[in-house]
Amino acid sequence: MIMDDTHTMEHETVAQYTGTAKVLHWLMALLIIGLFALGQYMSDLSMSPRKLQLYSWHKWVGVTVFFLLLVRVGWRITHQPPALPEQMSKYQRLASHVGHAALYLLMLAIPISGWLMSSAKGYQTVWFSVLPIPDLLGKDKQLGDTLAELHGALNGLLMFILAVHVLAALKHHFIDRDNILRRILPSSKASSLPQ
């Protein structure tokens, strides 16, 4: 339904994502932004016990995000998301699907590239100092450096796509005045999909 000036979004009942989907979305968003900020910070530090500790924390959270992604993909497969607004053009729908697919692929590729990089550099990941994650590659400094560049490039691409994602959501909310953003936000006037 196209809204006019006399129809405000606040009076609409909006089909939303499930509570589980919302928690996974916002938790992963916070963790990924934190990981990126930590990665930028620690990469400029000189080698020290503190830098090694930060790298460990970075890897622990990265593995956590990877596991959360698997849960999120499973949830998405088994729970239908709310429909896109009818007034969205085919181009916008395609852009939405491509953008989300790119986000999911990058959220998968980035931790795997970090895991491969860590293996090639000879640093095994031990999740929260308890669960050893097996190395996927033998030690190879040149390969480790190449994977580090790939890991950084993928992170840069993810941050770019996330920025576009956020700007698109804000555009839908404030300019198009549709329900795209409200579907993922907590709202007392929304109808959730079945849990």
Domains and CATH numbers, the chain: 12-190 (1.20.950)
Q: What is the pLDDT of residues 62-88, one digit of tens each?
A: 999 999 999 999 999 999 999 998 899
Average pLDDT over residues 172-191: 81
How many Å apart are CA 37 and CA 41, to the nearest integer? 6
How many Å apart are CA 50 and CA 101, to the nearest integer? 36
What's the predicted TM-score (pTM) here? 0.86
Mark 135-156 as b/e (b = at least 16 C-beta within 10 Å).
bebeeeeebbeebbebbbebbe
Helical (H) or strand (E) element with 133:
strand 131-133
Altogether, the residues listed in the chain come to a count of 195
